[in-house]
Structure 1
Amino acid sequence: MKRREAREKALQTLFQLENTELTVEDAIEHTLAEEKSSAFFEELVYGTQNHLEEIDASLESKLENWSLSRLAKIERTILRLAAFELMYMPETPNNVVINEAVEISKVFGDEKSGKFVNGVLSKY
């Protein structure tokens, strides 16, 4: 699984987990179906879930005139995923993480998502 695909699958998994009773394992199984997992994908999913409080606190400090709870669920999930990479995976250059998040937000969000995500993440 390529890194872009891993990020997209991680986004889909984390999106399912918000406000549901699914376990992480069930969400992963549902997202991947018959596909093979990857270490990078699993690190993104489990890492984001395990550090959610720290990630949310960090994101709240970067949002201007917004709260995390007011964001669209897809944008909140993209920001959490990217913030995890920026905060806990220093081997990936920040500009790569931000660019990937912006591109993914263009696919899964609306026409303004890319600019919003870029604006928040550029504060890292």
Structure 2
Amino acid sequence: MNTPCTALVIPARLAHPVHIRSVELDTTALRRVATGEVGVIAGPDWHVYLDSETNRIAAQNLRAEVLIREAGINVEETLHGTALFLGDGQPGEDADVPRHLIRLAEQLFDLPLAA
């Protein structure tokens, strides 16, 4: 059984808003994030799921690139598709996105996200 987690969702398309939502993750749900294989970039207490395909069908995600870099992770490749940020739970498990990432996204994108 999957436990719902609060995720920070950053769509690739700038016309779609950055938002927070409850998600239940399984393989099917993660495949909706990517046009192909699902990739992961890890931070100190968070990780982000996104498109890892080298055949870049999905749009470039500039906002996710900015957030990841501002959170202290050097990303050299271009990121594509929707980015789903979550926290680190027990080994191998997802948890709610850390509050500091939500606050950073609010500052970077000038958006009120926290409830």
Asked if Structure 1 and Structure 2 have the same fold, meaning a TM-score greater than 0.5 normalized by the shorter chain, the answer is no
- TM-score category (smaller protein): 0.3 to 0.5
Higher relative contact order (CA 8 A, sep 6+): 2
Structure 2 length as normaliser, TM-score?
Answer: 0.33
Structure 1 or 2: more helix by fraction = 1
TM-score, normalising length: structure 1: 0.32
